[in-house]
Structure 1
Amino acid sequence: MITLQDVSKTYSKNKTKALDSIDLTIPDGCIFGFLGPNGAGKTTTIKLITGALEADEGLISVDGLELPSRALEAKARIGYVPDNPELFSRLKGIEFLNFIADLYKIDRETRRERIEVYTRRFEIADVLAGQIGSYSRGMKQKLMVCASLLSDPSNWILDEPLVGLDPQAAFNLKELMRERARAGKCVFFSTHVMEVAEKLCDRLAIINKGTIVFTGTLDELKDLRGKDGSLESLFLELVESGDESGGSRV
Structure 2
Amino acid sequence: MTHPISPTDPSTQAFAVRGLTKTYGDATVVSELNLDIPRGAIYGIVGPNGAGKTTMLSMATGLIRPTRGSAWIAGFNVWEEPTNAKDAMGLLADGLPIFDRLSGQELLTYVGALRGLDEGVVHQRSTELLDALGLGDTGDKKIVDYSAGMTKKILLAQALLHNPQVLILDEPLEAVDPVSGRLIQQILRNFAASGGTVVLSSHVMELVEGLCDHVAIINKGVVEIAGHVDEVRKGKSLTDVFVDIVGGGALHEGSLSWLGGSTTEQEPPQ
Q: Does the 8 A contact of 1:85 with 1:140 survive in 2?
A: no
1:78 maps to a residue whose letter is: M
In the alignment, structure 1 residue 9 sits paired with structure 2 residue 18:
no
Q: How does 1:199-238 map to 2 (within 5 A)?
A: 199-223=210-234, 228-238=235-245
Q: Distance in 1 between matches of 2:180 and 2:23?
A: 36
Asked if residue 46 in structure 1 is aligned to residue 57 in structure 2, the reply is: yes
Q: State the partner residue of 1:162.
A: 173
**Conserved 8 A contact 1:85-1:144:** no
Once the two structures are TM-superposed, the CA of residue 128 in structure 1 deviates from its matched residue by: 3.9
Match of residue 96 from structure 1? 107
Indicate conservation of the 8 Å contact 1:85/1:141, yes or no: no
Structure with more relative contact order (C-alpha pairs < 8 Å, separation 6 or more): 1
Alpha-carbon distance, 1:113 to partner: 1.1
String of CA shifts for 1:178-231, please: whole Å, max 9, x gaps: 1111111110000101111111111010000101100112222234xxxx3211
Unaligned runs of 5+ in 1: 242-250
Identity over aligned residues, as a percent?
Answer: 34
Maintained 8 Å contact 1:41/1:207: yes
Q: Return the index of the structure with the highest Cα Rg.
A: 2
Aligned to 2:268: none
Q: Which residue of 1 aligns with 2:134?
A: 123
Q: Which residue of 2 aligns with 1:81?
A: 92
Q: TM-score, normalised by structure 2?
A: 0.83
Q: Which residue of 1 aligns with 2:145?
A: 134
Distance 1:174 1:68 in 2: 31
> What residue identity is the alignment partner of 2:128?
V
Counterparts of 2:33 and 2:185, CA distance in 1: 27
Distance change in 2, residues 1:111/1:41 (3 Å): same
* Distance in 2 of aligned mates of 1:4 and 1:19: 12
Gaps of 5+ in 2: 1-13, 249-270
Query: Partners in 2 of 1:44 and 1:79 — Cα distance?
Result: 17
In 2, Cα distance between equivalents of 1:154 and 1:73: 11
* Runs of 4+ in structure 1 over 6 Å off: none
Q: Is the 8 A contact 1:33 1:205 kept in 2?
A: yes
Deviations 1:69-98 (A, max 9, x none): 211210111111113475222222222111
What displacement does 1:120 show? 0.3
Contact 2:32 2:69 in 1 (8 A): yes
Tell me if the contact between 1:83 and 1:158 (Cα under 8 Å) persists in the aligned partners. no
TM-score between the two structures when normalised by the length of structure 1: 0.90
Give the superposed CA RMSD: 1.4
Q: What per-residue deviation string (whole Å, max 9, x for no partner) do you get for residues 111-158 of structure 1? A: 111111110011111114111111111111111111111100000000
Corresponding position of 1:193: 204
Tell me the residue number matched to 1:248: none
Is the partner of 1:165 in helix, strand or coil?
coil
Q: Which amino acid aligns with 2:189?
A: R
